[in-house]
Amino acid sequence: MAGLDLTGKRAIVTGASSGIGRATAAALADAGVRVAGGARRVGRLESEIALELDVTAPASSERFVAKAVEQLGGLDILVNNAGLALGRAPFDESSEEDEATVFAVNVTGLVRMTRLCLPHFGDWGHIVNMGSVAGRQAYESGATYVSAKFAERGFTYALREDLLGRPIRITTVDPGLVETDFSLVRFKGDEEKASAVYRGVEAIQPDEIADCILFALTRPWHVNVDEIVVKARNQSSGGRILRDG
């Protein structure tokens, strides 16, 4: 992809063990970026530096950032990608445990990782937060995930205000339907329900979201791509998807 040369930059990618995070870590490496990937399933990480990370746990997050920055020798890019939804049902079927997990990963975890990484940026930084179309337009039976992704977008813009004047760009990437393990996690391992999400519609592939992230990262240094919203062609919102048959 033409644009700013990322060779030699140093990146942290959270949730790099699967889906969008794994594709992003690979695309960054292809662009000459040194990548430290983090996730709980450390055995699934394929990045040059692979470290255990649970973004919901302060000690794990602190340990991860310290080790990653030490091994990278600094930090230029943070991709706050780790996230999940749990359940797809009207809100009165929600549970204390699922609510706590969804907010802990998507919101508190992302905020924590940003706070821990910020002191390590030098004179060239870029933070990419993984939002969702769910964070822009509510859809039915997704209340906690929708709220969490609205919070992510609010945080991104608040951070943009607080970082204004510092050499750190910030972008939220807000995808629609992407074919990953997201639905398998959302439906707690129910493969039938998970595969139905992608039936009869051509979903976005994880490397196509990685391309969007690379686009933002490679713009000329004076350009800040605030947000990228990308949906499947046959999708107009999180809740409206046209399917064949």
| Residue pointed to by tokens 């999708």 | 235
Choose between 182 and 187: whose C-beta lies nearer to ligand NAP: 182
What are the residues whose beta carbons fall under 8 Å from the beta carbon of 36, sequence distance 6 or more? 10, 11, 12, 13, 47, 48, 49, 50, 51, 67, 68, 71, 72
Q: Which of 9, 67, 139, 145 does the annotation list as catalytic?
A: 145
| Separation between Cα atoms, residue 14 and residue 110, nearest integer Å | 9
Closest contact distance (angstroms) between CB of 213 and ligand NAP is: 11
Closest contact distance (angstroms) between CB of 105 and ligand NAP is: 5
Closest contact distance (angstroms) between CB of 177 and ligand NAP is: 5
Site for ligand NAP in 103-122 (CB under 6 A): 105
Binding segment (CB under 6 A) for ligand NAP, from list 77-85, 111-119, 120-128, 215-223: 77-85
| Residue pointed to by tokens 């639905």 | 183
**149 classed as catalytic:** yes
| Separation between Cα atoms, residue 5 and residue 76, nearest integer Å | 13
Contact 113, 55 (CB under 8 A): yes
Q: Is 37 in the site for ligand NAP (CB under 6 A)?
A: no
Q: Is 24 in the site for ligand NAP (CB under 6 A)?
A: no
Please identify which residue in 6, 13, 54, 153 interacts with ligand NAP, judged by CB under 6 A.
54
What 3-state class would DSSP assign to 203?
coil
User: How far is C-alpha 1 from the chain's CA centre?
Assistant: 21
Strands in 23-149 per DSSP E: 34-39, 49-52, 75-80, 121-130
Q: Is 78 in the site for ligand NAP (CB under 6 A)?
A: no
Binding segment (CB under 6 A) for ligand NAP, from list 47-55, 112-120, 164-172, 227-235: 47-55
Write out the catalytic residue numbers: 145, 149
Question: Which residues make up the interface to ligand NAP (CB under 6 A)?
Answer: 14-15, 17-21, 39-41, 53-56, 81-84, 105, 130, 132, 175, 177-178, 180-182, 185
